[in-house]
Structure 1
Amino acid sequence: MVVDKGIDMEWSRIPHFYRDFYVYQYVTGFAAANSFSQIILNGTEEDVEKYKGFLKAGGSDYPINILKNAGVDMTTPKPLEDTIRRFDELLDMLEKELAQ
């Protein structure tokens, strides 16, 4: 591999490496989104309304409280466990397709 001298230090410009917990935000957001998708797909109209309330809430409160009011409690391991479970399901589906 030949690295262009113009970008040989490009990696050092990525802010992820300099901010504590920066990447953690992606995982938190993904886990919350996964929880919302499962709640909406398997829930009731009331669950959809709670999600709409979450969207309407904007910055009116701390995100952790807004999420909890909408049915996603990020203070528990459940959202992350559900996300890992969903990832496992998707991997199983992929492996099944690749085996054909």
Structure 2
Amino acid sequence: MEQEGRKTATGLTRWQSGYINRMLSNPFYCGRIVYRKQYVPDYLVQKKINNYGDVEKVYVEGTHEKLVSPEDFDRAQELRAKHRIGKRDKRGNHLLQACH
């Protein structure tokens, strides 16, 4: 990214590993937009709840520039899942996330 002259979200020219990690965990950077990350189960209360598979998420191909190819992004997700260890809650979410 530095060799291509790309700047970070905050406008810096120096890239750190955390920036790359964030890019490889956010589908927006491979051209996908995700809707319904949160939902409101009770319209009277209007309290948002994070969607862990309770409601179907909607994935849409965006028209913005892709910084990561979809193939590289999918492969990164496979590798990240393979290296995750720890306990899961009843929804299958990791309680402890550590890499070895």
- TM-score (normalised: structure 1): 0.27
Q: Structure 1 or 2: larger helix share? A: 1
Higher relative contact order, chain-length normalized (CA < 8 Å, sep 6+) = 1
User: Which structure dedicates a bigger proportion of its chain to strand?
Assistant: 2
The structure having more radius of gyration, on CA atoms, is 1
